[in-house]
Structure 1
């Protein structure tokens, strides 16, 4: 558990750290459950800086900071959909993801929604299970020509 963790809204100045966390986490953590080619394609999403800038500018996008270093982030789309939650590869299993999730859930409730939805990689199924989400279904989606298995989760707030 990390004490003195600060959660705040992301700014464009955070872009480099956010995309670095995304790339490094996908390569180090998600590589347990996906092929090398899938990881190469998935992690290359960090290079789409315009998409990341739009997320930061247009979505509810929060970062977790510890000792002036961003160690995780989360963002919400379409009111109640947790579109991304990533924790730095060196800070896994230290309650950062749980804290980001709680703040995201609070924001969603404050917006008047009673449900939170999330698309989950295979790697994060246990995380969502442990936070009382119900797995709605398993699916495959295509990203840059590669197929990815994932699950859709939902939770009443």
Structure 2
């Protein structure tokens, strides 16, 4: 199924990464979410990266990690505060190869090191199964409006550390 990543590495976000991460964000939405969202919804969602300066400022305001392969960014994830996975996007060419897992593992580890007991995410319908497999439990459905389009997502939470047992 998946294959081992050649030289997968993580590094912190740099302002110069913004154009590449915006491209990964748009490609992931356009190529990976079509089964769950309409073209109009995908277009509205992807438009968040149209203003690269604002997109870069958002990434810089959070703890953003970049996954690289052979030195090139292939995905990124951002931790908002100490306990919320705000963004996790992987380039379609490496989807299903462990990049998302690498990024999510790192954010969970960092959140735990900051004393966080639970971590949350507002998962897209496309990402729900990914987070369920990681032990996240659905809490509530949400609707958000982006550029006049309604998109649904699900707030999910996971207990960090401890016994790992869930009620």
TM-score strictly above 0.5: yes
Match of 2:90 in 1: 87
Structure 2, gaps ≥5 residues long: 161-167
For the 8 Å contact 1:11–1:56, the answer to whether it is kept is no
Q: Is the deviation greater in 1-10 or in 96-105?
A: 1-10
Please show how residues 1-150 of structure 1 align to structure 2 within 5 Å.
1-150=4-153
Q: TM-score, normalised by structure 1?
A: 0.96
Greater share of helix: 1
Question: Shift of the alpha carbon at 1:48?
Answer: 2.2
- Note the aligned Cα RMSD (angstroms): 1.0
Q: How many residues align?
A: 157
CA distance in 1, matches of 2:7, 2:46: 29
CA distance in 2, matches of 1:107, 1:29: 27
What do the CA deviations read for 1:37-87 (whole angstroms, capped 9, x no partner)? Answer: 111111111112232222232210000000121111000112210000001
Structure 1, gaps ≥5 residues long: none
CA distance in 2, matches of 1:76, 1:117: 10
SS of alignment partner, residue 127 of structure 2: helix
CA distance in 2, matches of 1:8, 1:58: 16
SS of alignment partner, residue 33 of structure 1: coil
